[in-house]
A = this chain, B = another copy of it.
Amino acid sequence: MKVERVHIQHITEEGEADTEDMVTMEFPVTISLNNRELVTLLCSPSDLDYLAVGFLLSEGLLQSKDEIKKITVDGQTGIVQVETRKGKELPHELLHKPLIASGGGRGASLDSIAATLGWAKIESQVVITPHEVFELVNEFQQHSQLFQATRGVHSAALCDTKNILVFNDDLGRHNAIDKIFGECFLKDIPTADRIVLTTGRVPSEQLIKVAKRKIPIMISLTVPTDLGVKLAADFGITLIGSVKGKKMNVYTNRWRVVTK
């Protein structure tokens, strides 16, 4: 269960009523790699193995599934232990610093972030039609029962142009995306040539997570930041935002949206 029932007083101009509301649960989870505590995340208490693995992937601390020796989730204390076959050297500076800090944060040109990181542009030739985008978003919105119950979470999904393949939600939009990629990693679900859907905004951190997994198309129900747009352009990602009903905005790499 990721929701909790709380007593509230509902007040309108007409009067007041003692009633109940469903709120989303928030749980502190500490991720530990080879007995070293890396971070405590406040998250929705589900799929903590996916969350931990997705976080490690996003931070560049895992490359292949074979590296993982054991994952132990303690649902009581909220500690997730990940053990790898060989001990990991942890670059001290890596954690808790936005990845762009070394490029963008010190006044370097934002145009060169992909180059700075040594990442090749995403070349996937996948294309999508507006109709497919509208259908995917429609299915995506119906998926999130937790959002419908609480209005307190973000959802994320991995899709192809027709279907939602992996879905998750979390009170943090970063966590929701990490859970998706963690599940893909553990279940050997390929992410290249796929599409990521998010209910959340798209600042640089979200875009970087998606770029690392070589996702060519990112679709948000809401809006990106300027840096999100610049990075999407730079990384070769088609960024679609503000999808509502039968309307959408394409911010970058519009060639993947085929309108005929």
Give the secondary structure class of A's interface: mixed
Q: With A204-B26, A205-B42 in contact, is A150–B223 under 8 Å at CB?
A: yes
What residues of B have a CB within 8 angstroms of the CB of A12 in the complex? 130, 246-248
Give the distance in Å from the alpha carbon of A237 to the alpha carbon of B28 in the complex: 22
Residue of B nearest to A203 (CB): B26
Of the candidates B39, B105, B107, B171, the one whose C-beta lies within 8 Å of that of A203 is: B171
Taking the complex as formed, is A51 at the interface, i.e. its CB lies under 8 A from any CB of chain B? no
User: Does any Cβ of B come within 8 Å of A116's Cβ?
Assistant: no
Docked-complex contact B23 and A247, CB < 8 angstroms? no
> Is residue A139 within 8 Å, beta carbon to beta carbon, of the partner chain?
no
Checking B4, B130, B251, B257 against A226 with a beta-carbon cut-off of 8 angstroms, the contacting residue is: B4
* Interface residues of A, count at CB 8 A: 61
A259 at the interface (CB under 8 A from B): yes
Given A40-B101, A98-B40, A203-B42, A228–B26 Cβ distance below 8 Å? yes
A residues lining the B interface (CB < 8 Å): 4, 6, 8-13, 16, 21, 23-30, 39-40, 42, 76-78, 95-98, 100-101, 104-107, 130, 150-152, 171, 201, 203-205, 222-229, 242, 246-251, 254, 257, 259
Closest 9 CB pairs of A and B: A26-B225, A28-B105, A26-B227, A4-B226, A9-B250, A77-B107, A40-B101, A8-B249, A13-B246
Could you give 7 example pairs across A and B, Cβ below 8 Å? A6-B229, A10-B248, A21-B251, A23-B226, A28-B98, A40-B101, A151-B222
